[in-house]
Amino acid sequence: MTEPSIELELDVDATAGGFRIQSRSGVGGECAVDTRWDPEDRTLERRLRRLHVALLSSAAGTRRVAARDEKAAQELGTTLFDLLFTGDVRTLFDTTRQQAALRGSRVRLVLRVRPPELAALPWEFLYDQRRDDYLGLSMPLVRFPEVMDPVRPLRVEPPLRVVALSARPRTLDEIDAAAERANLETAISGLDRRGRVTLDWATGETWRDLLNALGRGQWHVLHLVGHGAYDEGHGEGVFFLATEGGASYPLRASRLAQIAALHPSLGLIVLNSCESATGSADDPFSSTATTLIRRGVPAVLAMQFDISDRAAVEFTRSFYAGVASGLPLDVAVRNARLELSLAFPDTLEWGTPVLFLRQRDGQVFEVPARSAPPRHSPSRTGSPPTGSPGTASPRPAQSPERSPHAPAPSRRPPPSVTARRAGRRRVPVRRWWALASGGLAVAVAGVAFTVLSGVGGTGTSVAVPANVTWTGTGVVLQPGQHVRITASGRISPRPGIAAGPEGLSVQTYPGLRLLSSSNYGALIGRIGGAAPFEVGAGTELRAPGGGELYLGTNDLDAGDSTGEFTAQVAMD
């Protein structure tokens, strides 16, 4: 299912001494603005150079983005924003954002920039300083070259099949092929285990190896790792394969497009090579990516700058998870950009990938909806059966004679208390008031614990509000400690949309997720500062490290969500 969105389309054409920007909005507005361009003004050129330096600096993996690097990105992004959104175009942009917010949807920005000198600019860094907002992180942003014959979505029966080739000609700068291969396999490993994505590698680095790999089956994605460049002589981008002797073999983009045309199941080519999105200042279709689009490839994901290994792994993991789930490619890229920026706040590399599409909606692959995961029963999670001897039960066992559809007997709900901890926000929790044979429910420091006689564990019940990113449970786990979590309740991540702890599948509502492998709005957890994990209706695990257990909903934009989950946490 396509994420609810309102499209804002911007067409940029050259005029005498400047440019004309035409804008059309899905809310019904349309306008055109003429703007002048001073070719002697070197401000944009200087800011581009500073951005290049900032990207190299942030890719080195320092503890945080230096203020000067962030400033370089914001200054360039502001210049690009002011160039594109001026006069009535800015007014229409603001109106579209307001209408999208009122409708509970998002803006989808489609750029069709025809002048080559403008098409080559890194529009992914567009920055609205009024909102302190990089548009590439807050909305799907796609470059949509004007081509004929858009393609229909390709129906994909999971798994999404990826074939990859890594080329390292000895006449070019050394590439650590083993590391590149390990990076891609690391990014896809979790998806592979769940049957969502498969990855095969070409056995060599030559054009024959590429043809042989593509001929082994029906592939959906071709992923190329290596060196790229712009060939001034032929006026198009190239990807460097190797010859039989190990020298470089420049495979021109037009030839790569001819190869791709022989495999109609290919819907996407990923170019993990520098300058694959860079072209001539005289021809907007001269880069490797745009040449492939013009020659019929449905979608191309290319790099406009070098990208570090850690950024490539994080972006690739999230991107392929979204694609395999059926997200439109532009939404998958937007989500992957945001996850990269959150995983590594010290880098600006989220702006390096560029998505080129041949069709408007970004739905290159049509992935059938998967059935919802089964609910976890208490017995599967290891929780004691309700009402069993020697346990404290949060609710009485249901009589077997009572119909499951009959209304529950009226009883007074348990009172709520609020845990107060020094230096921590107020966290709502509920006491377990039940007393059972051999079990005792007590409250310590405002947090409810149940001592389970004969089981040797303690438990707590925590309310997890939907409008808070993370809620501390007060449960501090030791490395290797066994913990079981079950959950119930309903939340509304968006007006008119309800979800249980399992969340909403991507096909039902994509949403902006913190954990790309889990459903939107699902209950998730983390221990200390470790990576988040899926909880859903129930899970159990051994803590990989020590720290407090936090619970939250899988929603990066949770501020307007309502409702709460109730989680029962038991520790051995």
User: 495 or 259, which is more confident?
Assistant: 259
- How far CA 314 is from CA of 198, 307, 324, 339, in Å, comes to 18, 11, 16, 8
In this predicted model, which residue has the larger pLDDT, 37 or 365? Answer: 365
Q: Name which of 275, 320, 270 is nearest 292 in CA terms.
A: 270
Reading the block at residue 89, the tokens are 């175009």
Angle at which helices 207-214 and 253-261 cross, to 10°? 20
**What confidence score (pLDDT) does residue 16 get?**
83
Higher pLDDT, 379 or 33: 33
Spell out the domains of the chain, with CATH numbers in brackets. Answer: 5-139 (no CATH), 154-366 (3.40.50.1460), 378-394+416-571 (2.60.120.430)
> What's the length of the chain?
572
Q: What ranges make up the beta strands (E) of 421-561?
A: 427-430, 440-444, 447-452, 457-465, 471-477, 482-494, 497-499, 523-527, 533-534, 538-542, 547-553
The string of pLDDT tens digits covering residues 14-47 is: 988 789 999 999 887 889 999 886 666 677 778 7
Across the beta sheet with 221-225, the strand order is 30-36, 18-25, 5-15, 106-113, 141-143, 353-357, 299-303, 268-272, 221-225, 160-166, 197-201
Biggest CA-to-CA distance, the chain: 88
pLDDT tens for residues 438-491?
333 333 333 333 333 333 456 789 999 998 878 999 899 999 999 999 999 999
CA-wise closest residue to 506 among 316, 340, 334, 322: 322
Taking only the tens place, the pLDDT of each residue in 192-206 is 777 888 999 999 999
pLDDT class for 403, splitting at 50, 70, 90?
A: very low
Distances (CA, A) of 295 to 44, 52, 210: 32, 30, 19
The single residue listed with the structure tokens 């390990």 is 182
Question: What whole-number distance in Å separates Cα of residue 417 and Cα of residue 438?
Answer: 25
Confidence of residue 111 (pLDDT cuts 50, 70, 90): very high
Q: In this structure, which amino acid lies at residue 470?
A: W
**Mean pLDDT score, 352-357:** 90
Is the whole model's pTM more than 0.75, yes or no? no
Other Cβ atoms closer than 10 A to 367: 23
Average pLDDT over residues 407-423: 35
Q: What is the pLDDT of residue 151?
A: 59
The predicted model gives 207-225 an average pLDDT of 94
Mean model confidence pLDDT for the chain: 77
Span of 32-41, 144-153, 225-234, 272-281 with lowest mean pLDDT: 272-281
Structure confidence at residue 69 (pLDDT): 75
